Copies of this chain bind each other. A is one copy, B any other.
Amino acid sequence: MADKVLMKGNEAIGEAAIHAGCQCFFGYPITPQTEVAAYMSRRMPKVGRVFLQAESEVAAINMVYGAAGAGVRVMTSSSSPGISLKAEGISYIAGAELPCVIINIVRGGPGLGGIQPAQSDYFQATKGGGHGDYRLVVFAPASVQEMVDLVQDAFDVADKYRNPVMVMGDGMLGQMMEPVEFKERPKKELPEKTWAANGLKGREKHNIINSLFLKPEELEAHNNKLQEKYREIEKNEVRYELYNCDEEMDLVIVSYGTLSRICKNAIKMLKKEGINVGLIRPITLWPYPVEAFDKVIDKTKNGFISVEMSCGQMLEDVQLAVNGRKPVHFYGRSGGMVPTPAEIANKIKGIVGGAK
């Protein structure tokens, strides 16, 4: 395959952003995503764009606010503790309705935690780590190729809805190399950024980038507008994969990111033992693919199991989607421990009662 190259997830993020027309990158080093910044520092000057290492994650996200407000495509990247520091800034960006892409290559927490792969920032990403009623669109790629595709999509979705989009992977995805292809992408019709504050240049009225609405009536109206937008996104942007879900199933795994690949291997193992297990793989963590559950709910004997590299965070969204219609189980590892297919298969056998 001549047009495929082996690329580290973190570097693929950078290259995908460049392909998507990312004009500015602001970052701060943190394991396991440092290579994003390193890659951008090499490449962005070569393509005449902006790489800047900020003094902190707080500064980086506010630089993003500045550049996004000026109407250019902009990205920042970090890992868990760094994302926490961006919480205020992300809330501002969501409040001011600015499009941008935020990468989180998750590591184990809480606190300084560890640097190995984890998924324990699910809540933070999907329920809004920052204050106020806002939502990020959250993409969760499972391979370096999908990372490349989703990072590019992320810029489009951000621009389409004037909303920040987070692309979340774990340390594995950031560090691993896989073959990737930068596909020709059809040009998207996207709204013009007439709101951008980039200098009047003859424009009559000044543009203002702002999230302050001192009058409660106005702030409520603004929130209502945001909520409408979120409903629109829920309608249009849900993405997921159904794997092995066509027939009657003993159980359906729900799992995202790299971990979902391990789950697929577990499914293959179980198949050999006569246990048929499906997989719902949410690709958007928000909006959550509730409809995927509706599609399979009548075909699963023992309900669902949320398999996570966290202590039961996505579990709540699974329960909300299932809403009591079937049992919901959980299997999780944490702190950088990556479950093996055998382990997952074992847990599932415990639930479905061994081979048939």
Which residues of A are interface residues toward B (Cβ below 8 A)? 58, 80-81, 83-85, 87-88, 91-96, 106, 108-116, 118, 120-121, 123-124, 127-134, 210-224, 226-227, 310-311, 313, 316, 319-320, 322-325, 333-337
Sample of 7 further A-B pairs with CB below 8 A, known A93-B111, A94-B110, A124-B129: A84-B88, A85-B88, A87-B129, A109-B132, A121-B132, A127-B313, A217-B335
A110 touches B211 (CB 8 A): yes
Given contacts A108-B132, A216-B337, A324-B324, contact A113 B95 (CB under 8 A): yes
**In the complex, A137→B218 CA distance in Å?**
33
User: How many chain copies?
Assistant: 2
Specify which of B81, B95, B115 is in contact with A214 (CB 8 Å cutoff): B115
Given contacts A84-B131, A124-B129, A129-B129, contact A216 B112 (CB under 8 A): no
A109 touches B91 (CB 8 A): yes
Residues of B within 8 A of A95 (CB): 109-113
CB distance from A343 to the nearest CB of B (A): 13
**In the complex, A81→B87 CA distance in Å?**
9
Residues of B within 8 A of A227 (CB): 311
CB distance from A115 to the nearest CB of B (A): 7
Specify which of B215, B316, B322, B325 is in contact with A316 (CB 8 Å cutoff): B316
A219 touches B114 (CB 8 A): yes
Residues of B within 8 A of A310 (CB): 133
B133 touches A313 (CB 8 A): yes
CB distance from A7 to the nearest CB of B (A): 25
CB distance from A178 to the nearest CB of B (A): 22
**In the complex, A335→B218 CA distance in Å?**
8
Residues of B within 8 A of A336 (CB): 216, 219-220
**In the complex, A133→B109 CA distance in Å?**
6
Name the residue of chain B whose CB is nearest to the CB of A322.
Answer: B324
B132 touches A120 (CB 8 A): yes
B110 touches A131 (CB 8 A): yes
CB distance from A180 to the nearest CB of B (A): 27
B220 touches A335 (CB 8 A): yes
Given contacts A114-B214, A216-B337, A220-B333, contact A84 B130 (CB under 8 A): yes
**In the complex, A80→B134 CA distance in Å?**
13
Residues of B within 8 A of A94 (CB): 110-111
Specify which of B80, B134, B218, B322 is in contact with A109 (CB 8 Å cutoff): B134
**In the complex, A336→B215 CA distance in Å?**
8
A88 touches B81 (CB 8 A): yes
Name the residue of chain B whose CB is nearest to the CB of A335.
Answer: B219
CB distance from A226 to the nearest CB of B (A): 8
CB distance from A338 to the nearest CB of B (A): 8
**In the complex, A316→B319 CA distance in Å?**
10
Residues of B within 8 A of A213 (CB): 108, 113-114, 335
**In the complex, A80→B130 CA distance in Å?**
8
B124 touches A110 (CB 8 A): no
Given contacts A133-B311, A334-B220, contact A212 B111 (CB under 8 A): yes
B211 touches A112 (CB 8 A): yes
CB distance from A84 to the nearest CB of B (A): 4
**In the complex, A56→B132 CA distance in Å?**
20
